[in-house]
């Protein structure tokens, strides 16, 4: 003969089932957690094994459905409304598709702006929130766009000097410069310095070449027309003498050859017109008070 079915229904095979609310066990004679008068604290259902299946709507769990789930509120439910509460350890499983991660309180929080959960990766801890890496642009780490400039520093941030979508534009005071297959925004002061050094270097090269050429007679004859032209413009006349080492083949008894532009006992003095045409009186050794007019070279 079977045992009595105290708070249930005895079936034809002699087993006890369909226990009344608040009871469980083979004979339906044991009180559910929190007592048969208020089983599972009124927030869940008691199984035939005496285990409370808590209703997630109330955000409570534990053996008696009295332990609150992390992040519970009457308005949003458990886990700040971003996941579900897992029993019996009372932790949250957060919805990564909504960029939610499990925080230190075991509840769910939303990732910071322009970061998110990478699909297929765990979403436990704020370190799970990732952003688009350097040289890419976007607020969703699963959909990052490649940047054509060197200004993308991750997420939707730009380096100094860059602005706009994908850091495509240069700020005021910067100019765009091509570097390989990418574009860079450089400070305008850099461009000024580059231009300054280029111009300075070019001028130095010209000066060096001019100094080298100035030591040749050809260059002196070549530049005489320009010197004379400058004299006419300025309206002044200055005569300068400069020793010139030549052999004495050009020496004449009266004056040196007009075409040679040389004076002196050994044709060792050459006249240059720095100002305008001038009448020159030169006392050359052996030829006192010789008068020589320097001919125009053209």
* Chain segment 91-107, per-residue pLDDT in tens: 899 999 999 999 998 89
Summarised one tens digit per residue, pLDDT across range 240-292 is 333 333 334 443 333 444 444 444 444 444 444 333 343 333 434 443 333 33
Could you tell me if 3 and 54 lie in one domain? yes
**Domain membership flag for residue 284:** yes
Q: Could you tell me if residue 229 is inside a domain? A: yes
Is residue 32 within 8 Å of 46, Cβ to Cβ?
Answer: yes
Residue 111 lies in a domain: yes
Asked whether 220 and 212 are in contact (CB, 8 A), the reply is no
pTM surpassing 0.85?
no
Structural domain total, the chain = 4
Burial 289-298 (b: 16+ CB within 10 A, else e): ebebebeeee
Same domain, residue pair 117 and 149: no
Q: What is the pLDDT of residue 128?
A: 94
Task: Give backbone dihedrals phi and psi of 134, rounded to 5 degrees, phi first.
Answer: -55, 145
* 202 found inside a domain: no
What tokens appear for 32 in the block? 């559910």
For the purposes of burial, counting CB atoms within 10 Å of the CB of 169, is it exposed (0-12), middle (13-18) or buried (19 or more)?
Answer: middle
Q: Among 130, 149, 166, give the residue marking a domain's end.
A: 130
Last residue of one domain, picked from the residues 67, 83, 108: 67
Name the residue range of residue 289's domain. 216-293
Q: Which of 67, 85, 119 is the last residue of a domain?
A: 67
Residue 199 lies in a domain: no
Q: Is residue 241 part of a domain?
A: yes
Contact assessment for residue 106 and residue 125, using Cβ atoms and an 8 Å cutoff: no
| Phi, psi of 174, rounded to the nearest 5 degrees | -130, 155
């Amino acid at each position: 003969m079977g045992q009595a079915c105290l708070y249930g229904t005895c079936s034809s095979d002699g087993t006890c089932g369909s226990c009344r609310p608040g009871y469980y066990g083979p004979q339906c004679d044991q009180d559910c957690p929190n007592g048969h008068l208020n089983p599972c604290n009124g927030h869940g259902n008691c199984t035939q094994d005496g285990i409370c299946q808590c209703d997630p709507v109330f955000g409570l769990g534990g053996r008696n459905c009295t332990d609150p789930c992390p992040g519970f509120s009457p308005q949003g439910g458990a886990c700040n409304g971003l996941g579900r509460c897992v029993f019996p350890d009372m932790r949250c499983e957060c919805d990564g598709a909504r960029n939610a991660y499990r925080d230190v309180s075991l509840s769910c929080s939303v990732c910071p702006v322009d970061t998110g959960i990478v699909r297929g990766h765990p979403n436990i801890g704020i370190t799970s929130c990732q952003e688009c890496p350097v040289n890419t642009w976007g607020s969703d780490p699963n959909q990052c766009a490649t940047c054509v400039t060197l200004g993308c520093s991750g997420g939707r941030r730009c380096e100094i000097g860059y602005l706009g979508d994908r850091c495509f534009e240069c700020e005021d005071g910067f100019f765009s410069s091509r570097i390989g297959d990418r574009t860079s925004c450089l400070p305008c002061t850099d461009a000024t310095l580059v231009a300054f050094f280029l111009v300075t270097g070019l001028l130095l090269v010209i000066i060096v070449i001019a100094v080298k050429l100035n030591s040749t007679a050809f260059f002196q004859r070549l530049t005489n027309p320009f010197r004379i032209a400058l004299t006419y413009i300025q309206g002044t006349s200055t005569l300068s003498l400069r020793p010139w080492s030549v052999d004495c083949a050009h020496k004449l008894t009266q004056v040196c050859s007009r075409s040679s532009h040389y004076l002196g006992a050994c044709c060792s003095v050459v006249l240059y017109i720095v100002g305008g045409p001038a009448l020159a009186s030169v006392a050359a050794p052996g030829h006192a008070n010789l008068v020589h007019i320097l001919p125009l070279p053209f």
